[in-house]
Amino acid sequence: MRALCGFAFVLTLVVVLLGAFTRLTDAGLGCPDWPGCYGFNYVPASAGEHALAAERFPDAPLEVTKARNEMIHRYAAGTLGLTILVMALVSLRPANRRYRLPAFLLLALVLGQATLGMLTVTLNLMPFVVMGHLLGGFTILALLFWLWCRQGAYKGPQPKMQGVSRLFRLALAALVLQIALGGWTAANYAALACTELPVCQGDWLSQWQWSAFHPHGMPAETYQYGVLSQLERATIHAAHRLWAMVTAVLLLALARQLGRHPGLRLWGLALGLMVLLQLALGVANVVLHLPLWVAVAHNGGAAVLLLILTGTGERLGRFGEEKWQEAWQFSPAGHTSGRTISH
C-alpha cells in the first residue's frame, strides 16, 4: 500500500507540472472535445485524420503541438486515476482497513477532478473551473503525501507543541489562499499584467477593481487569453504579489519556529530555503516576462511548499496524538486513569 501511495504521489506531482505546462503553452483547448481529441483517442497524425478533424471541428483548427501537450496531460491524469482506483480496491483487504477512508476520499477527489477537466474544455477555460481544477490537483497531491508520511515510522525527539501548531495553521491558510490567487492569476492571463517591481505600474491602488474577483465572472463564448480588462488583471496580479509578502513572512516565521525543535528542524530548513527560492522565481517571472520553464518551476515551487507544510502537519499531528494518548492513559500522579486505549 505504501508503494502504491508513493507511486501515486510522484505521478500526481508530474500531472500537476504537466497541467501547468499545458496551461502556460495555451494548450488548454488544444483538443476541443473530451476525453478524446477531435474524436480520436490520440492526436490526429495522418493527412486523412487532419481532414476529418477539420470536418468535425471547423471552428477549432488543429494545432498538433498544443493537442499533444493536452493529451499527454490527459494520459498521465488517466493513469493516476487508475492507480488511485487500485489503491481503493487494495484498501478493501482487512489488513489495509485503516487506509480505506483516505483511499476512497482520494478516489472521490479524482472523479471530481475528471469532471472539472471535462468542464474546463466544455466551458472553454472558465476561470473558476480552471482554478478549481488546479486546487483539486494540489489537494490530491497533499493528501497522498500525508498518507505516505503517515505510513512511515518515526523515532525522534518530540517538539513542544505550544505556539507551533497555531502558527502552522495560520501559515497553511495563508499558503492555500496564495495558491488560489496564483491559480486565479493564471486562469485570467494576468501574469504579465504588471511588468514593474516592486509595485504594479501606474497608480494601481486608486484603480483597484474588485470586479476582478466577482464570483460570476464575465460571460463569454471562450475565456482563452482572458476576458477581463487590463485594470482588472493588474488588480489580480497586485493582489497575488501583496499576499505573497504576507505568506512569505508567515512561512519564514514558521520555519524559524520549527528550527528550534530537533524533531522539526529539517522541515524548517527546507521551508525557509523553499520560500526564498519561490520568491526568486516570482521575481524572475516578472523581470524575464514569464519564461516557460521559470513559470512551470514557480507552479512546482508552490506544490513543494504545500508538501513541506503537509509533512510538518503530519509530524505535529502525530506528536499531538502521542501526547493525547499519554494523558488519556495515565493520571498526573503516574497511575492509570482507569480508561484504556485500543491499539
Catalytic (active-site) positions = 70
The Cα angle at residue 326 between residues 258 and 263, in degrees rounded to 5: 20
Contact assessment for residue 312 and residue 168, using Cβ atoms and an 8 Å cutoff:
yes
Half-sphere exposure of 277 (CA within 13 A, CB side): 17
Q: Whole-angstrom distance between the N-terminal and C-terminal Cα of the chain?
A: 20
Q: What is the 3-state secondary structure (H, E, C) of the chain?
A: CHHHHHHHHHHHHHHHHHHHHHHHCCCCCCCCCCCCECCECCCCCCHHHHHHHHHHCCCCCCCHHHHHHHHHHHHHHHHHHHHHHHHHHHCCCHHHHHHHHHHHHHHHHHHHHHHHHHHHHHCCCCHHHHHHHHHHHHHHHHHHHHHHHHCCCCCCCCCCCCCHHHHHHHHHHHHHHHHHHHHHHHHCCCCCCCCCCCCCCCCCCCCCCHHHHCCCCCCCCCCCCCCCCHHHHHHHHHHHHHHHHHHHHHHHHHHHHHCCCHHHHHHHHHHHHHHHHHHHHHHHHHHCCCCHHHHHHHHHHHHHHHHHHHHHHHHHHHHHHHHHHHHHHECCCCCECCCCCCC
| Maximum separation of any 2 CA atoms in the chain, in Å | 83
